[in-house]
Amino acid sequence: MTVLLLAGLLAACQQAPPAPPPPQPTPQNGYGATERAFVELAIATDEQALKLLDLTDSTELKQNRNVELTELRKLLDAPYVNNHAGHDMPGMPTDAEIQLASTSPDALKQFVHTHLTESLEVVRSAGPAITHPPTAEVVKLMERHRTAELAAG
Amino acid sequence: MRKPLFHIAAVIGLIATALSVPGAAQGEPVRVAEFLAECPISHRLADDPIVLPNLAGASHFHDFFGNHSTNARSTQQSLEGQTGNCNPASDISSYWVPTLYRNNTAIAPTGVTFYYLGEGVNNPAAIQPTPYGLKIVAGNAKATGDADSIARWSCLHAGHVNPSKNFVTCPAGTMLETYLDFPQCWDGRNLDSADHKSHMSYPVAGGCPSSHPVSVPKLRMVLRYPVNGSTAGLRLASGTGQTMHGDFFNVWPRAEMERRVRNCLNVVIKCDHNGNHG
């Protein structure tokens, strides 16, 4: 019995998992996982939104998204990959919505408004989570743009 | 005319039942390396603590299972010590999948089982406990068709319907189900990676590759939805059925995970919810 118990304990010791690595320290105010995720998401959202906004005659909306895209791309630390294509993301019009908006002025107006309100919510949610100053600047720019665009109706 | 047919069917059924008695005598353990957790839906949020960390409300909608506290800000530290809705209650891990919709109505799965299996590797005795805090993503949320998808959709109680990578039409009285196998080879160093995938790998020819040498339990997620009939209007928050994906954040208490791996997987025995066997 003792031998069996000892054998069991030995087996248990041999099967102990490798010691997990210590958690990687998040660089203070650095471009971390949250910043990277936000920038990639914001690029995907703005690029898709432009397809919708191209259906409008508002140069301001299109110009604002393009300015944001330029600033967002400057923040990338690796080649951009669109992780959100085809997804039903807040503030990101779907292909079906863009298709519908191309034939219905009412739908276009509604989807533009939804893009602005939902992406403003995302930007406001990101605000406190973003600690990297250059990324935080772009977040503020995006919030200013959307607030003004919604106020302009 | 129908009565005799019924009798014949009943007799055939009895014979089939007699023939299907397992070879092992009653009380003998079943030689399948398996333990499990069943975790109904806990909550639904537009959050993804792995892909969009700290960005509350920025994701497509997910159905969360297990740990009740999971949200965009979840970390290993925030999840531990919380409660969940799994059977066994000791599993307070987080699991989540994109929400399923029929048109714009969300449909929650009514059967949610996470199997931890010893299959896929030739040497189950070498399987190590899943590292505490490990994050695993399975499936391809960006799939554009069958070629880049590992999704599997089928019908519960309708085995004649061929499985597909996209939604299938299930007969009345049956349920739409989906299976997802998570990668089971770990690189031995990282609990996550920038693309959330490269620290894990699927086995090759029955073994873990040298780049990912640590064999861990194979997680298989099985979801059953109260859905049958036409697939019209069905979509995931991530797109077509082919984009089915699952996320797992391991916070099984270490001792509970280790005991199950040792008593169920390493020795190839089917265990119950509590990690025990007959």
Count of structural domains within chain A: 1
DSSP conformation letters of chain A? -HHHHHHHHHHHHHTPPPPPPPPPPPPTTS--HHHHHHHHHHHHHHHHHHHHHTTS--HHHHHHHHHHHHHHHHH-SS----S-TT---TT---HHHHHHHTT-HHHHHHHHHHHHHHHHHHHHHHGGG---HHHHHHHHHHHHHHHHHHHT-
Q: How large is the ipTM? A: 0.81
- Note down the domain range covering A140: 29-86+94-151
Choose, out of A125, A131, A135, the residue to mutate when testing the contact with B (most B CBs < 10 Å). Answer: A125
pLDDT in tens, A33-61: 999 999 999 999 999 999 999 999 999 99
pLDDT at res. B148: 95
Minimum distance, in Å, between the CA of residue A24 and any CA atom of chain B? 9
Q: Classify residue A9: in a domain, yes or no.
A: no
For residue B231, what are its two tokens? 């697939």
pLDDT in tens, A103-120: 999 999 999 999 999 999
pLDDT at res. A28: 73
Helix (H) or strand (E) holding B161: none
Q: Classify residue A42: in a domain, yes or no.
A: yes
Chain B residue closest in CA terms to A89: B60
What are the chain A neighbours of B51 within 8 Å (beta carbons)? 37, 83
Point out the residues of chain B with pLDDT beneath 70. Answer: 1-27, 278
**Quick one: which of B26, B14, B42, B38 has its CA closest to B88?**
B38
pLDDT at res. B125: 98
**Quick one: which of B259, B250, B110 has its CA closest to B191?**
B250
pLDDT at res. B26: 56
Main-chain dihedrals φ then ψ at residue B190, nearest 5 degrees: -110, 135
- B187 by Cβ neighbours in 10 Å (0-12 / 13-18 / 19+) ranks as middle
pLDDT at res. B25: 47
CB contact under 8 A, B142 and A83: yes
